[in-house]
Amino acid sequence: MKTVIAYLCHHADRHDYFLSMLPVGAVSLAAQLHGSGFDVHLANFSKEGVRGALQKIEELSPDVVAVSLFTHNRIDTLRLLKEAKKRAPRLVTIAGGAHATALADTLIARAPGLDYIISGEAENALPALLKQIEAGKAPPPGVFHGERIRDLDKLPSPGSYAGPMSGVDVNEQFKTVITSRGCPYACTFCCSPGMWERTVQFRGAAHILREIEYLYRERGIIFFSIRDDNFTLRRDRVIEFCRGLRESGMYVMWNCQSRVDTVDEEMLVEMKLAGCEQIQFGVESGSAQVLERYRKGITVQQVQEAARIARRVGLYVFYYLMAGMEGEKLADVRKTIGLIRQTLPGDGIVSPVALYPGTSIYEDRKRAGAIDDGIWSARGESGIFLRDDADVAKWISMLLAELGVVREHSWYREKDFRLHRRVAGPECWVTDILEGDYYRDNERFQEAEASYLRVAGRYTDNPWGFLRLGKIFFYMGKFEEAAEYYTRVTSIVPRYYGGWLKRAESLLALGKRDEAKLCAGEAFSRNPHDFRVRNIMDILKKLGGRYA
């Protein structure tokens, strides 16, 4: 019996990097099923759309299709299930995810083509249901409640999935790592309290490191993004993970999401020494009154202090911001602008306050009679927002503009790097990389080279110094030296497609077409999704010759 674990984003979001990516939960399910001997296929239909997804499902001819259902992808996903069921009436359809969990009873009663919903965690519930179906003992259509998984280390890591896939860009998909589930806080705009009941389960540091090692050695992934609601919630685990990563001999760079009230300087130093280059804080607003309405549980002063110590350590700072809370005024937005100017985040996202089923904001409005669950089928846009007045759009534009203005001022300069070395230590290789990037961006190539050479000289198994050296020599037109540095990268991390791509580009610039073809072929075999890889393949084909 074949099961397809599938995801399809809203058609309007198909070019959005994050919304078009498979949820990590879907990958985790596929890993669990594959590891347990099930015939499973992992599919991302986001680029295909509903029509393409239907065609692919026909080609795969599965017995079961299980989808990730979120608020933003509900319209296209439910349409897909309805149409798939019409074409193959015996097909079994299953949905899970935050939207499915929050509206399980409503959806199972109203959504045509949907047989089962698994609310909560599905790693145990889905295999049990599939076994019943395969044995010819399928239960009546309805809702199944997945039990809370208390020991995440007993699950295979999502990154270990090695089964068949379609539409999955491995190099992008698997750089996303989640090391915990849940959040103890009660923000009014967030689905987490309803989904996880304000409890948190953690993966152990050793379990996380095994996943990263597999992805580094076998998939050639050298940059990771840790997407926990709050990676820094358990200080001891963070420090154990960081020290283990340093001892492993893997030199990866990474970022993570965090809360401003769960970091301190020692922790951030440990993170940077282990390769962290950016920390992303859920700030939301610079107005104490708005933070209170969000029940965020933080103060503006805590934001200021967290940003201060992050910049002192030398991590770049990213803010998640929102605009459009009930009762929010221009004066509140101006306070957020003031906070941005004072704390200098290097980047950020500004979102309108969205409604999600199960959140406090949504449930409060539902109790007041201002909204009901029918809105999710009546309206076709991917996002439905608390406010849709012109002020909110204006405020978002103001905040985005301020982030753009501040970005240049947020960049670290020579005096900052001197401070970073005093705080994080003189041998922190991330400081050298970031300093070299500063010099490179200002076309001070000799100083950039010196920074990168410190990394390459001290840490001969670290690909980042050689990568950056190759980049500046390529910029300077010194293609022979660039090719040599990129060759070092491919010897350190043979599975990393980027090293082969850059080596191919350097060899092509030298006129060494045959060698460039071989390297481009290696890059393509590791990542056929990157347009740069496809471009150099096309160029080399036009220049003549064929690939083996």
For the segment 76-126, what is each residue's pLDDT rounded down to a tens digit?
999 999 999 999 999 999 999 999 999 999 999 999 999 999 999 999 999
For the segment 376-428, what is each residue's pLDDT rounded down to a tens digit?
999 999 999 999 999 999 999 999 999 999 999 999 999 999 999 999 999 99
d(CA 174, CA 510): 34
- Is-contact 146 20, C-beta < 8 A? no
SS3 category, 393: helix
Written out in words, the top-level CATH class of the domain with range 172-375+386-410 is alpha beta
425-543 to CATH, choices 3.30.465.10, 2.60.40.420, 1.25.40.10, 3.40.50.20:
1.25.40.10
Residue 81's nearest CA partner among 97, 96, 67 is: 67
**In the prediction, which pLDDT does 544 show?**
79
d(CA 238, CA 279): 13
d(CA 43, CA 342): 44
Quote the distance between the C-alpha of residue 518 and its chain's center: 32
Terminal alpha carbon distance of the chain: 36
Look at the block and give the residue holding tokens 């760079």: 253
**Is the torsion defined by CA of 412, 415, 416, 418 positive or negative?**
positive
SS3 category, 79: helix
- Provide DSSP, 458-513: H-TT-HHHHHHHHHHHHHTT-HHHHHHHHHHHHHHSTT-HHHHHHHHHHHHHTT-H
Strands 176-177 and 116-120: unpaired
Q: Is the pLDDT of residue 546 over 90?
A: no
Residue 2's nearest CA partner among 40, 56, 37 is: 40
The rounded percent of the chain whose pLDDT value lies above 90 is 99
**In the prediction, which pLDDT does 547 show?**
45
For the segment 133-173, what is each residue's pLDDT rounded down to a tens digit?
999 999 999 999 999 999 999 999 999 999 999 999 999 99
**In the prediction, which pLDDT does 244 show?**
99
Written out in words, the top-level CATH class of the domain with range 2-152 is alpha beta
Residue 279's nearest CA partner among 296, 262, 299, 298 is: 262
Q: Is the pLDDT of residue 545 over 70?
A: no
Domain boundaries, the chain: 2-152, 172-375+386-410, 425-543
d(CA 175, CA 97): 21
Burial degree of 97 (CB within 10 A; 0-12, 13-18, 19+)? buried
Half-sphere exposure of 452 (CA within 13 A, CB side): 23
d(CA 62, CA 40): 9
